[in-house]
Amino acid sequence: MSNTIIVGAQWGDEGKGKIVDYLTENTDVVVRAAGGNNAGHTVISNGTKYILHLIPSGILWKDKVCVIGNGVVMDPIGLLEEMAKLRGQGVTITPENLLISETAHLVLPYHKGLDKAREAKRGDKKIGTTGRGIGPAYADKVERDGIRTILMTQPEILEEELRDRLARHNATFAELGVELVPVEETVKIILEAAKTLAPHITNTTVYLHEAIKAGKNLLFEGAQGTYLDIDHGTYPFVTSSNTTSGGACTGSGVPPRMIDKVVAVGKAYTTRVGSGPFVTENEDIGDMLHNMGREFGATTGRARRCGWLDSVLVRYAVMINGADELAITNLDGLDGLDTVQICTAYTLRGKTIHYPPSTAADLAACVPVYETHQGWKQDLSGIRKFADLPPLAKAYLKRLEELTGARVSLVGIGPDREQTLVV
Ligand code: IMP
């Protein structure tokens, strides 16, 4: 039995979907425990591209069970659209292979309205959210004003609760001068969605514990990344959930002592979408990657901000996630470069530091200390064995291991399933 948590070591978009998909082969159950459909996981399998937002990528496998855990915020309309799209691509989704926690909270149309209205009001302090209503849904949960998915199995109470929230939120919208959410239409759509989703809704914590007892292997598919974590990330430029490994436990009901391994996924360089400090940001790297047709968001299509590999961030991520291993993706993105830089430390107000400071303002004031490595100048995408990587690419990965204290166990050199090298 082995239960593994996958987390992002940077600001999300590290290629976790692909690594999860790769590791799913030896897994029975794939679990999402935090976030919502703000996530966008791209998986390419047998030449077909699948984009997943809420559904764990294990759904692409015939014999795996996927669980949306209690820590997730679930947009029922978004989920139904995602299910329809995947079914259109030939993927089978049933109440047997997709289970939704009855204590996960719903993301409702008024949450999206609030998300957009708040962002607009922030002006140049905007976070750059995905506009999926994630922050307001978590705020309602913590405020004890949320609606849990279990009510989708109790339509009368669901309707009552919905009407109550719509009345209150519309009153706020009226004050903000924001367009009101249509009550009757929303109630109708959500009640209809409830009918379709109800068979999937269950006590997933009990299911997961029974699966563990039966000797099944669990894989926790992280969403977003360490630096988008509400506690450990670059607050306030973060998402509203715990995206680090601890969140996998609270967001599923599987206790820490039942976790065997944590794998942190990071790109061979760094990217971020949305606002906030980014010490190693580099426009030339961004232009190069965008010209290669890479680094556009799977959820919003936004061009991602790009920069050099920041080992300060990865080292800290290894520490707070308790990562045993690193999976490094997109190594091939650096194929054309004469020289490659790694940030090994920061200087902040004249002092050298080896961890990210706790305020966004201080992080923005950090100056990167770089180490320059010779580029391998070779197309890596056709390589199928780690041993066949050019020595300079291996040296780059070795240096990352030294700087972070974690072993590199997987290397991604392209989007396809077979472009993952085992070390
Ligand atoms: P929210 O999660 O939509 O509230 O957005 C908060 C911040 O997290 C913004 O900077 C988003 O761009 C970022 N974010 C949310 N989900 C993802 C993701 O899956 N990948 C990368 N960034 C994300």
pLDDT block averages, 10 residues each, the chain of length 423: 94 90 93 94 84 93 96 98 97 98 97 91 90 97 97 98 96 87 97 98 98 98 96 95 98 98 98 93 96 86 94 98 97 97 98 96 97 97 97 98 97 91 95
* Cβ atoms of residues 163 and 191 within 8 Å: no
Interatomic CA distance for residues 326 and 165, integer angstroms = 43
**Predicted pLDDT at 1:** 65
Find out whether the beta carbon of 127 lies less than 6 Å from any atom of ligand 1: yes
Q: What is the DSSP letter of 61?
A: S
Q: What is the DSSP letter of 296?
A: B
* Cβ atoms of residues 61 and 33 within 8 Å: no
* Cβ atoms of residues 27 and 283 within 8 Å: no
Interatomic CA distance for residues 317 and 308, integer angstroms = 16
User: Is the overall model pTM greater than 0.85, yes or no?
Assistant: yes
Find out whether the beta carbon of 12 lies less than 6 Å from any atom of ligand 1: yes
Sign of the C-alpha dihedral, residues 296, 300, 301, 304?
negative
Amino acid at 406: A
Q: What angle do CA 121, 125, 129 make, to 5 degrees?
A: 75
The yes-or-no answer on residue 124 being catalytic is no
The yes-or-no answer on residue 260 being catalytic is no
- The alpha carbon of 353 and the centre of ligand 1 are apart by a number of angstroms equal to 27
Amino acid at 108: L
Q: Which of 75, 224, 278 to mutate to test the pocket of ligand 1 (most atoms within 8 A of CB)?
A: 224
Amino acid at 414: G
- The alpha carbon of 123 and the centre of ligand 1 are apart by a number of angstroms equal to 18
**Predicted pLDDT at 263:** 97
Identified catalytic residue from 41, 53, 105, 200? 41
Could you tell me the two tokens for 40? 């966008």
Q: What ranges in 67-203 are assigned the alpha helix state H?
A: 76-88, 109-122, 134-142, 155-176, 183-197
Find out whether the beta carbon of 197 lies less than 6 Å from any atom of ligand 1: no
* Cβ atoms of residues 64 and 211 within 8 Å: no
Residue 276, strand partner residues: none
Find out whether the beta carbon of 40 lies less than 6 Å from any atom of ligand 1: yes
- The alpha carbon of 273 and the centre of ligand 1 are apart by a number of angstroms equal to 7
Amino acid at 89: Q
Interatomic CA distance for residues 115 and 118, integer angstroms = 5
- The alpha carbon of 361 and the centre of ligand 1 are apart by a number of angstroms equal to 19
Q: What DSSP element (H or E) covers 398?
A: helix 391-404
Tell me the Cα Rg of the chain: 21
- Burial class of 180 by CB neighbour count within 10 A (0 to 12, 13 to 18, 19+): middle
